[in-house]
Amino acid sequence: MENRTQPVLLLSTDPAHSLADVLDQSLGENPVKVHLPRGKLTAWQVNAEKRFHSFLNRHKENLLAILENGSIFSREDIEPLMDTAVPGMAEMAALLALDDALSSGRYHQIVVDTAPFGHTLRLFELPEHFQRFLNFLDLAASRDQILAQHFGGSAKPASFPILEQWSQMVSGVRDALRGAEMFLVTTSEKFSLNESLRCRDVLGQQSTPLKFSSVVLNRAIDSSAGCSVCRNRVAATRAARVLLKREFPGTDLYVGEDFGAPVVGITGLAAFAAHIFDSKPMKWTPRTPKAPEMRLFDSKWPVLKTPLTMVVGKGGVGKTTISAALSFNTRAKSKLPVEICSVDPAPSLDDIFQADITDEARPVLSDSEFLASEMDSVHLFRQWVAEVKQTIDQTTTGNVSGIHVDLSFERRLFSELLEIVPPGVDEVLAIVHILDLLGDSSKRVVIDMAPTGHALDLLRTPQRILAWTRLLLKTLAAHRTLDFARDAGVKVAELGQRVRELLDLLKDPERSCIYTVMLPEPLPDRETERL
């Protein structure tokens, strides 16, 4: 902290928090003062579900009024859907928490510890999608006025001041992100560097381009001391320095030395900050936990026995490597067809197989029975939107009981809604994609999951989808005289049946299993225990 008299907030938006572990201090779900000898630091691990539902409950009446006013659905149709848990709450809660912190005026600086790359990219995209949601609500709120104009009449404009308040909130967060200093943290490992470059490119291509102001090369090794493994890491550190200076010209490059253990506790963190940002020698001795000496045994790589295998773990522990190794070993030893798919929004299968892996499964390692793919959830969502729009266009103008029904407003409203890429799209479409992959029972399917927090969200999603399908079917039944409601009901029922089958499979140890990947370090160890 450059100015020790000014208050600073350290905010974690990762659904699998590690702030309490790093600070070595108990943290609740509300902002907590960090015990410092000097300085004013507050830490906040956001409880995504509680923060999201707090926002929803506070504005529920306004939302219900707007949606009931602007659609064919009643309050009784909509309210149960709003009361269910939704995927994507982590990103929404992060946006809301950031607005809370900014609007409070309590903090001179806000430092955000984000989720791993894939879902941080979703967070940065969220203000734009939220603005589109506001456009949808604004259209819904103006339904009476638009229909009156359409039929040559007039209507008093509906007034919903909350829409302007939300618009100001989104603008404030978007402006804060545009003006923020962005630190990229990477290591000298090839996968980490490649992912960093991909993330830089994606951020630069957004509608509001974002750029890293500083890069931190962490866990660097500068001397080998006669160790062959260390010599390789020294070479990797030197190569990483060259690459980062070339790829991030004009950007500050900081280097953090690897001391053989995670830096934990206030004393260690203060020394580490001085080491990285002030180039001071690291004066800190890691606390090595006492434990009995381990006995290691030879172990063979397993051959996967279940149709579905999911690989989970904290970001950076090697999930993708283990996923690929399990897939390769199973294919080599069993000769069964194997398909590996990454559902991480920031996948690395390209790096593993040294090939161009896309959202279409293709052979790897010159083996037609060994397939790999990386799910592109936004692309899948756009494909689905195109199909739905076509169906809506075909079914929202027609006759009901011999009477012509003009549903042009509903068509426009649905089209506006479908322009929004919803938070949680990765989790929902991953479930649908897994269902598609499991169509062939003879092959082994390996899912390289997103890091812990979002992997848990994905595993909760089938139950959530099932709850939505039940509510949607009940809602659509009230409008079964309309063609599009009947068509939608059929699709919802089909999805519900498939999700029930997946839930049965996930609960059956004979048909699915989970492998957890971790490192022998305190932070991954603690997160794995919580997982």
pLDDT band at 399 (very low <50, low <70, confident <90, very high): very low
- Tell whether 264 and 329 lie within a shared domain: no
What pLDDT is recorded for position 334?
Answer: 94
- Tell whether 421 and 501 lie within a shared domain: yes
Report d(CA 91, CA 97) in Å as an integer. Answer: 10
What pLDDT is recorded for position 2?
Answer: 53
Residue 401 has pLDDT above 60, yes or no: no
- Tell whether 136 and 229 lie within a shared domain: no
User: How confident is the model over 176-191, as pLDDT tens digits?
Assistant: 988 999 999 999 999 9
pLDDT band at 527 (very low <50, low <70, confident <90, very high): confident
User: What is the signed CA dihedral for 179, 53, 14, 327, rounded to 10 degrees?
Assistant: -130
- Tell whether 282 and 326 lie within a shared domain: no
Cβ atoms within 10 Å, residue 108: 13
Report d(CA 460, CA 439) in Å as an integer. Answer: 21
- Tell whether 492 and 367 lie within a shared domain: yes
Mean per-residue pLDDT for 258-282? Answer: 90
Q: Which residues contact 237 (CB under 8 A, 6 or more apart)?
A: 188, 217, 220, 221, 222, 255
User: How confident is the model over 437-491, as pLDDT tens digits?
Assistant: 888 778 999 999 988 877 888 888 888 788 878 877 777 777 777 777 787 788 7
Tokens of 398: 């027609």
Residue 1 has pLDDT above 70, yes or no: no
Chain position carrying tokens 């699998």: 16
pLDDT band at 405 (very low <50, low <70, confident <90, very high): very low
Per the structure, the complete domain to which residue 188 belongs is given by 181-268+277-287
Residue 364 sits at φ, ψ, to 5 deg, of -125, 160
Residue 249 sits at φ, ψ, to 5 deg, of -65, 140
What pLDDT is recorded for position 397?
Answer: 56
Last residue of a domain, one of 117, 147, 176: 176
- Burial of 290-305, coded b for 16+ CB within 10 Å and e otherwise, reads eeeeeeeeeeeeeebe
Tokens of 244: 């980062």
Q: How many residues does this entry show for the chain?
A: 531
379 part of a folded domain: yes
Q: Which residues contact 37 (CB under 8 A, 6 or more apart)?
A: 266
108 part of a folded domain: yes
User: How confident is the model over 207-236, as pLDDT tens digits?
Assistant: 778 899 999 999 999 887 778 888 999 999
Q: Which residues contact 315 (CB under 8 A, 6 or more apart)?
A: 116, 451, 452
Kindly report the CA angle at 209 between 208 and 215, in degrees rounded to 5? 140
Judge whether 121 and 34 are in contact, CB under 8 Å.
no
Tokens of 399: 């006759």
What pLDDT is recorded for position 85?
Answer: 63
pLDDT band at 139 (very low <50, low <70, confident <90, very high): confident
Greatest Cα pair distance, the chain, in angstroms, is 89
What pLDDT is recorded for position 402?
Answer: 45
SS3 128: helix
SS3 27: coil
- Our count of domains for the chain comes to 3
- Tell whether 70 and 211 lie within a shared domain: no
Residue 307 has pLDDT above 50, yes or no: yes
- Tell whether 148 and 206 lie within a shared domain: no
- Tell whether 244 and 336 lie within a shared domain: no
User: How confident is the model over 325-341, as pLDDT tens digits?
Assistant: 999 999 999 989 999 99
Report d(CA 185, CA 199) in Å as an integer. Answer: 11
Name the residue among 369, 342, 371 with its Cα closest to residue 434: 342
302 part of a folded domain: no
Cβ atoms within 10 Å, residue 55: 17
User: How confident is the model over 57-72, as pLDDT tens digits?
Assistant: 888 888 888 877 777 6
pLDDT band at 403 (very low <50, low <70, confident <90, very high): very low
Helix-, strand-, coil-residue percentages of the chain, each rounded to 5: 50, 15, 35
User: How confident is the model over 193-207, as pLDDT tens digits?
Assistant: 999 999 999 898 887
pLDDT band at 528 (very low <50, low <70, confident <90, very high): confident
Cβ atoms within 10 Å, residue 312: 25
% of the chain surpassing 70 pLDDT? 88
- Tell whether 147 and 186 lie within a shared domain: no
300 part of a folded domain: no
Last residue of a domain, one of 225, 253, 287: 287
- Tell whether 196 and 164 lie within a shared domain: no
Report d(CA 399, CA 483) in Å as an integer. Answer: 9
389 part of a folded domain: yes
297 part of a folded domain: no
- Tell whether 147 and 192 lie within a shared domain: no
Amino acid present at 164: E
Report d(CA 418, CA 438) in Å as an integer. Answer: 28
Cβ atoms within 10 Å, residue 318: 16
298 part of a folded domain: no
Tokens of 261: 């253990």
CATH code (residue 521)? 3.40.50.300
301 part of a folded domain: no
What's the number of CA atoms in the CB half-sphere (13 Å) around residue 217? Answer: 26
CA-CA-CA-CA torsion sign (311, 314, 320, 325): negative
Residue 15 has pLDDT above 90, yes or no: no
Judge whether 125 and 206 are in contact, CB under 8 Å.
yes
- Tell whether 397 and 519 lie within a shared domain: yes
Q: 528: part of which helix (H) or strand (E)?
A: helix 522-530
Judge whether 462 and 502 are in contact, CB under 8 Å.
yes
Last residue of a domain, one of 287, 319, 337: 287
